[in-house]
Amino acid sequence: MFVIRREPHNPILSPRHEHPWETLATYNPSVIRKDDGWYMYYRALSNPAALVTPYAGQSSVGEAFSKDGVHFEERRQVLMAEEPWEAFGCEDPRATVFEGATYLTYTALGSYPFNKDNIKVGIAVARDGVHFTERHLATPFNAKAFTIFPERIGGKVAALFSIHTDEPPAEVCLAYADQIEDFWSPAFWATWYADWKSHTYALRRSDGDQVEVGSVPLLTQHGWLIFYAYIENYFNERERVFSVEAALLDRNDPSKIISRTESIMVPEEIYEQYGLVPNIVFPTAATIGEGGNLDLWYGGADSVCAKASVKLHDLMRALDPERPARTFNRAEQNPILAPRGDGFESRAVFNPAAIDINGSTYILYRAMDAAHTSTIGLAISKDGTTIDERLDTPIYVPREDFEMKKRDGNSGCEDPRIVRMENTLFMTYTAYDGVHAPAGAVSSISVDDFLARRWSAWSTPSLLTPEGVDDKDLALLPEKIADNYLLYHRVSNRICADLLPEIGEGKRATRCIEVMGPRLGMWDGEKVGSAAPPLKVGDRWLMIYHGVSRHATYRLGAALLDASGTSVIARTADPIFEPVEPYELAGEVPNVVFSCGAVVRGDTVFLYYGGADKVIGVATASLAHMLDALS
């Protein structure tokens, strides 16, 4: 469980029109941290040069310095085209301090128009760490994003780079050399290239995707950490998605991938979505920051330099192949509830709400019969895991026209969430008649009537969502905000909120105060919706939510909301829970974990969830751990 936090001062480097060599764009930074501060090498793009590249700007490499890692000044141009093989530009530098010298690798453009035959790798050398007095053509073949490991591995010099980037599919490769000078030796590359396929990593998940090396490898106690660009649907410009991923390589044999993430960062901010080339985040450096943080440096929309940070401990835990199942650990008794008999819960039981009353956990779950009609069942647990009692009849059934079956198929009262406000329990749920759009409804009951099992005391349900709108995943904040009820609901593919003066008085949501949307290209890229009602933590709220990927896998994430319940302070980059067990992978709907309820006891969060729309499980996590990751 980890959070990617963008630097509030982003973009930290933007074009300067008074510098002709960087008047169009400054992006894809490579950063070296030294005792006196941060040195950033970046791609600087000028306006098209009438006598050289009249149809494209020309790139050179700039340098900027910062004492605090945020505010960069003292800009200068350190590398510009001089040799024939780079005559049309020097792009995307990666800087490595290796055995006392600074090596600047870059993409060298030899002619125009640009193609696979004129895009190669150049290497500049500053023996004194300041002045780049040497430059060499490295790869005689099409390659980019060449990064040199900062120390020898088994006595060898090592490098990662992307090959055939302009004659896809591109691959990420590893090269070993006896001396660093081998990297600009034609004889060395002739031998290496003869067997280049044996040096590649299996990083692409689809033949239609592209990968490019991002950061210089960073040595951690667990291995070499790298960030790279993952581009989905590379050959389809309309559906192309740039994202950032991370991988952990073996310390002594970096040809071995210990583990890797999925996409952890996609374009979300204005400076990432709009620029010379929109919707790009491209990682190019990683450095150790303050307080155990790792700083990730990247280019935004091929226009500006930006920075983000992540707690290194949290990221490494997520990359640990021996880690438990994400943040939450499943109970050994799972599934704790399964379909039974030939009555109201004969087909499936799933998507449970939960509330703790007088030391017992009451689990209100969606029960489905053979006719696909959903009602609400009840089970009770004293320890939060063991089911001590399970009622033989539902506690809540369809009563109103908007939830009564009108044709064969699913209908009824679905996916309950429950909160307590003083002595009243409010249950929100999805009401569906099988014909009209699903709607959000609410009913209430006093705590006394609930404990006495006077189910007839449930109030007449009323609709809370607009007519004709597919609006689901209703949850109430368990406290009023400015004397109003705060209602979460999902409109289309995002979590919305609205403030209502009354609940159950015919008042419906009319606004979508957007709380959270999907992140295209990530695990929650198709849609998001609330899971359990938010949990109070100090003066803030912990929201667990579900996210759906483009592959229709349902997983769970977490976000920390401010006191208003509508502003996101932090949101996990990775899922905190995902389907891995057989009862989560196969059922009525495969590849689903879906929660509607959570209870906190001490430091333990009990998460109740449906597995594959068939059974119910429970998993636990440390509240302190979750809040530490989100803080």
pLDDT in tens, 336-391: 999 999 999 999 999 999 999 999 999 999 999 999 999 999 999 999 999 999 99
Distances (CA, A) of 303 to 55, 58, 70, 395, 585: 18, 14, 17, 58, 42
Cβ contacts of residue 54 below 8 Å, gap of 6+?
48
Q: Which of 328, 487, 481, 341 is nearest to 419 (CA)?
A: 487
- Two tokens, residue 515: 């709380």
Give me the amino acid identity at 438: P
Distance of alpha carbon 417 from alpha carbon 427, whole angstroms = 6
Distance of alpha carbon 542 from alpha carbon 547, whole angstroms = 16
Q: Which of 227, 243, 223, 279 is nearest to 31 (CA)?
A: 227
On the question of pLDDT at 551 being above 90, the answer is no
Percent of the chain with pLDDT strictly greater than 70: 99
Distance of alpha carbon 530 from alpha carbon 486, whole angstroms = 13
Q: Tell me which CATH code domain 14-319 carries.
A: 2.115.10.20
User: Span 113-139, mean pLDDT?
Assistant: 93
Query: Which pLDDT band, with edges at 50, 70 and 90, does 509 fall under?
Result: confident
Residue limits of CATH 2.115.10.20 in the chain = 14-319, 329-630
Query: Which pLDDT band, with edges at 50, 70 and 90, does 305 fall under?
Result: very high
On the question of pLDDT at 50 being above 80, the answer is no
On the question of pLDDT at 315 being above 90, the answer is yes
- Two tokens, residue 598: 């959570």
On the question of pLDDT at 51 being above 80, the answer is no
pLDDT value at residue 237:
84
pLDDT value at residue 134:
95
pLDDT value at residue 532:
96
- Note whether 427 and 449 are within 8 A (CB): no
Query: Alpha helix locations (H) across 195-276?
Result: 270-273
pLDDT in tens, 573-596: 999 999 999 999 999 999 999 999
Mean pLDDT of the chain: 94
Query: Which pLDDT band, with edges at 50, 70 and 90, does 504 fall under?
Result: confident
CA end-to-end distance (rounded Å), the chain:
12
Distance of alpha carbon 73 from alpha carbon 619, whole angstroms = 50
Instruction: Output DSSP code: residue 518.
Output: -
Strand pairing class (373-381; 535-537): unpaired
Query: Which pLDDT band, with edges at 50, 70 and 90, does 231 fall under?
Result: very high
What residues are paired with 226 via a beta bridge?
A: 247
pLDDT value at residue 53:
64
Residue recorded with tokens 């979508």: 512
pLDDT in tens, 78-122: 999 999 999 999 999 999 999 999 999 999 999 888 888 899 999
- Two tokens, residue 501: 């003066």
On the question of pLDDT at 54 being above 80, the answer is no
What is 329-630's CATH topology? Tachylectin-2; Chain A (2.115.10)
